[in-house]
Amino acid sequence: MSSLSRDEVANLARLARIEMSEEELVNLASEFTVILEAVARVQEVASADVAPTSHPLPLRNVFRPDVTKPSLTPEEALSGAPASEEQRFRVPQILGEEA
Partner 1 sequence: MIRSSAVEMASALAKGEITSVALTQLHFDRIASVDTDVHAFLHLDTDGALAQAAAVDAKRAKGEKLSPLAGIPLALKDVLVQKGIPTTCGSKILEGWRPPYDSTVVTNLKNNDIIILGKTNMDEFAMGSSTENSAYGPTHNPWDLSRIPGGSGGGSAAALAAFEAPLAIGTDTGGSIRQPAAVTGTVGVKPTYGGVSRYGLVAFSSSLDQAGPCARTVLDTALLHEAIAGHDPRDSTSINAPVPNVVAAAKSGDVKGMKIGVVKELNGDGYQPGVRARFDESLELLAKAGAEIVEVSCPNFEYALAAYYLIAPSECSSNLARFDAMRYGLRVGDVDGASAEEVMNLTREVGFGREVKRRIILGTYALSSGYYDAYYGSAQKVRTLITQDFTSAFTKADVLVSPTCPTTAFKIGEKSNDPLAMYLNDIATIPVNMAGIGGMSLPSGVADEDGLPVGFQIMSPVMKDERMYLVGAALEAALLSKWGAPILSKAPSLGGLA
Partner 2 sequence: MSLTYDDVIAKYEPVLGLEVHVELNTNSKMFCGCSTTFGAEPNTQTCPVCLALPGALPTVNEKAIESTIKIGLALNCSIAPFSRFARKNYFYPDMPKNFQISQYDEPICVNGYVDVEIDTDEGLKKFRVEIERVHMEEDTGKSLHVGGATGRIHGAEYSLLDYNRAGIPLVEIVTKIVPGTGKYAPEVAKAYVGELRDILRSLGVSDVKMEQGSLRCDANVSLRLIGAEKLGTRSETKNVNSLRSVERAVRGEMIRHAELLNKGERVVQETRHFQEESGLTRSGRSKEQAEDYRYFPEPDLVPVEPDATWIEELRAQLPERPSVHRKRLQEEWSVPDKEMAAMINADLLDTVEATVILGSDPTKARSWWLGEISRIANEQNVSVKELAITPTDVAEIVSLVAQGELTDKLARQVVEGVIAGEGKPAAVISARGIKVVNDDSALMAAIEKACAAQPETAEKVRAGHLPAAGALIGAIMKETKGQADAARVRELLLGHLGQA
Q: Determine if 99 is a binding residue for partner 2 (CB under 8 A).
A: yes
| β-bridge partners, 84 | 89
Q: Determine if 19 is a binding residue for partner 2 (CB under 8 A).
A: no
Residue 96's region, left for phi above 0, alpha for psi from -120 to 50, else beta, is: left
Which residues ranging from 17 to 76 are in contact with partner 1 (CB under 8 A)? 17-20, 24, 28, 31-32, 34-35, 38-47, 50-57, 59, 62, 64, 72, 76
Which residues ranging from 54 to 83 are in contact with partner 2 (CB under 8 A)? 54-55, 59-74, 77-78, 80
- 73 membership: H or E segment, kind and range: none
Q: How far is CA 75 from CA 54, 85, 90, 91, in A?
A: 37, 12, 14, 17
Report what 66 binds from partner 1, partner 2, none; CB cut-off 5-8 Å by kind.
Answer: partner 2
